[in-house]
Amino acid sequence: MANENKWGSNLAFILAMIGSAVGLGNIWRYPYVLYSNGGGAFYIPYLVAIITLAIPFLILEYGVGYNYQSSFTKAIVKLKPKFELYGWMLPVSIFILTIYYSTIIGWDGIYLFLSFFKGWGADPNTFLNVNLLQSTNSLSGVFNFIPFVAIFILLGWFFIWFISHRNLDEGLGRVCKIFVPLLFVVMFIIVVASLTLPGANIGLAELFHPDWSLLGHFDIWMAAFGQVFFSLSLGMGAGFTYASYTEDNIDLISSGLYVIIANCAFENFTALGVFSILGYMSLQSGTPVSEIISQGTTLIFVAYPQVFNILGTLGLILGPLFFFTVYVAGITSMLSTFEVLSIAVQNKFALSRRKVTTILCLIGALASMVYATSAGGYILEIADIFINNIFIIVSVFVECILFAWVFKAEKLIDFMNSRSKTFKLGKWWLLHVKYIIPILLVIIWFGGMHELLKIKTTESAMIVTVLALILIIVSWIFTRMPAKSQDWFETEERIK
């Protein structure tokens, strides 16, 4: 059988990893994070986070994934059978993330459709919150189902199924080879067009005006580490899973480096475009950039449509291009989050990729319908904080300890160095994965808890509890179900 879970080439692996990293986090999160955390001064904590956390950790994930040639869960079982529950909790939590990620992709799909005729009207803010999402900002809207939103969320799931149910290289590999380069080309066109707009310099000056005083604040360091984490899809099993599909001749160190460079270049380049556009809008409306800038949904679905409205015909070209880019970036990231649970289920229950993908897409699509209600935006925000700020960080801490200490990261050094065409691993790398990263994670975790405590309403506590229960119960069920695959407890190792 043509291996249904192998990349056809190392290029497919690198492009798929870039596709996983470049996502909504780069487009709607990064420009705002950079701006609100000291502008030019933010580059210092950002670079520190890349060097101390991203590079060493990504290489560790790749190395262990490559070694086990299996899902994250199966590797954990091999490493410590008692930890199987944890081995399921990471993929299940990433599946929860995938479900809300599919919602944002769905919203973007709606805007892609509307952008051809500026269907959001003259007041994009009212359109988004009142007409489209009918947001209630509380759980009370959970019974108000919005079919239009549902259709677009389901469409995203259909694409995921359509791509993922094929053999790896024919589906995911091929899509990433075509769409990831396209993503960069289209973004390049958008940014260059934005840079030529009158007022672009106002926005850029605002963005890069460094506020060095912030460097002494804990918040900006936290923001940098959080951004690098999310943007590079670190510790979520995506890098681990994709690396487990590679061939023996893969140069994992250099691949990790290329992925990091491409991702960071993409997000910084995007920030130039975003701020040029905001500068243009500031010039037109006479409102300072600081009052226009926003993050997340408001940036993409309110500020951008406002700009496309002012831009006239150019808006009819840039609008669809922009929402298309966000869509592709979202789908290629979602493919990677989906893969983490999918391969774990395939491994344990000896089921085909086709079958597992179909079942999981149906479950995911059904569960995502809760976001197609008036309470969707509200639940999404809380789910995001729970998964990103709380759960994933604890989970990555455990992962780091298991991989660096129990597995013994030093086992990877010779093999990885022998294939590396760029730099070699040495003591500094071990120092990072064994000591520095776990310590940093503890610090980041306390920051994340601080965020969660800020939204302390009874309702949000209830949502967090429900999510935590779902996570534990589903993972427990997966753990208790008997393995159908003969070799569930006999994971092969590559590195001797």
Footprint of ligand PFF on this chain (CB under 6 A)?
20-21, 23-26, 94, 230-231, 233, 236, 238, 333, 336-337
Give me the least distance between CB of 171 and ligand PFF, in Å please. Answer: 17
Tell me the two tokens of residue 331. 């789908």
By C-beta, is 20 or 102 nearer to ligand PFF?
20
Q: Which is nearer to ligand PFF, 18 or 146 (CB)?
A: 18
Give me 457's structure tokens.
């309403």
Percent helix / strand / coil, the chain, rounded to 5: 80, 0, 20
Residue number with CB closer to ligand PFF (281 or 326): 326
Check: CB of residue 262 under 8 Å from CB of residue 176. Answer: no
Is residue 265 within a helix (H) or strand (E), and if so which, with residue range?
helix 252-285
Q: How far is the CB of 109 from ligand PFF (least distance, A)?
A: 16
DSSP string, 190-242: HHHHHHTSTTHHHHHHHHH---GGGGG-HHHHHHHHHHHHHHTTTTSSHHHHH
* CB-count burial class (<10 Å; 0-12, 13-18, 19+) for 408: exposed
* Helical axes 410-419 vs 252-285, angle rounded to 10°: 80
Cβ contact 257:422 at 8 Å: yes
What is the closest distance, in whole angstroms, from the C-beta atom of residue 234 to ligand PFF in the complex?
8
Decide whether 214 or 236 has the Cβ nearer to ligand PFF. Answer: 236
Could you count the other beta carbons within 10 Å of the beta carbon of residue 11?
Answer: 13
Q: How far is the CB of 333 from ligand PFF (least distance, A)?
A: 4
CB of 260 to ligand PFF, least distance (A): 12
Residue closer to ligand PFF by CB (options 125, 295) is: 295
Least separation, in Å, of the C-beta of 272 and ligand PFF? 18
- Is residue 305 classed exposed, middle or buried when 0-12, 13-18 and 19+ CB atoms within 10 A define those classes? buried
* Closer of 289 and 299 to ligand PFF (Cβ): 299
Q: Is the dihedral of CA 448, 451, 453, 459 positive or negative?
A: negative
Task: State the minimum distance, in angstroms, from the CB of residue 78 to ligand PFF.
Answer: 22
Closer to ligand PFF by CB, 260 or 402: give it: 260
